């Protein structure tokens, strides 16, 4: 009986450890994919590839509630 009573404690600890590590992973992903970081990367990419006229259209498309241009 004693061995059975000890194993759930280990299991709980392992579950808590797993929960903690997964929360850390989620936090690091959130930091990596913040809106600012994505915008910086998009700016770098777009400045290399896209001409300035299209770049403005792309920036407008990323802003929320932007008025759609008729093209």
- Specify whether the CB–CB gap between 45 and 59 falls below 8 A: no
pLDDT at 40: 87
Provide mean pLDDT across the span 9-31.
84
Domain borders along the chain are 2-59
pLDDT in tens, 46-61: 677 767 788 788 778 8
Provide mean pLDDT across the span 59-70.
67
Statement: residue 30 has pLDDT above 80:
yes
Q: Which residues of 18-52 are buried (b: 16+ CB within 10 A; e: fewer)?
A: eeeeeeeeeeeeeeeeeeeeeeeeeeeebeeeeee
pTM: 0.38
């Amino acid at each position: 009986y004693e061995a059975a009573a000890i194993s759930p404690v280990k299991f709980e600890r392992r579950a808590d450890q797993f929960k903690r590590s997964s929360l850390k992973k989620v936090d690091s992903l959130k930091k990596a994919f913040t809106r600012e970081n994505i915008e910086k990367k998009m700016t770098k990419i777009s400045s290399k590839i896209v001409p300035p006229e299209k770049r403005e259209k792309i920036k407008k498309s990323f802003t929320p509630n932007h008025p759609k241009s008729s093209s």
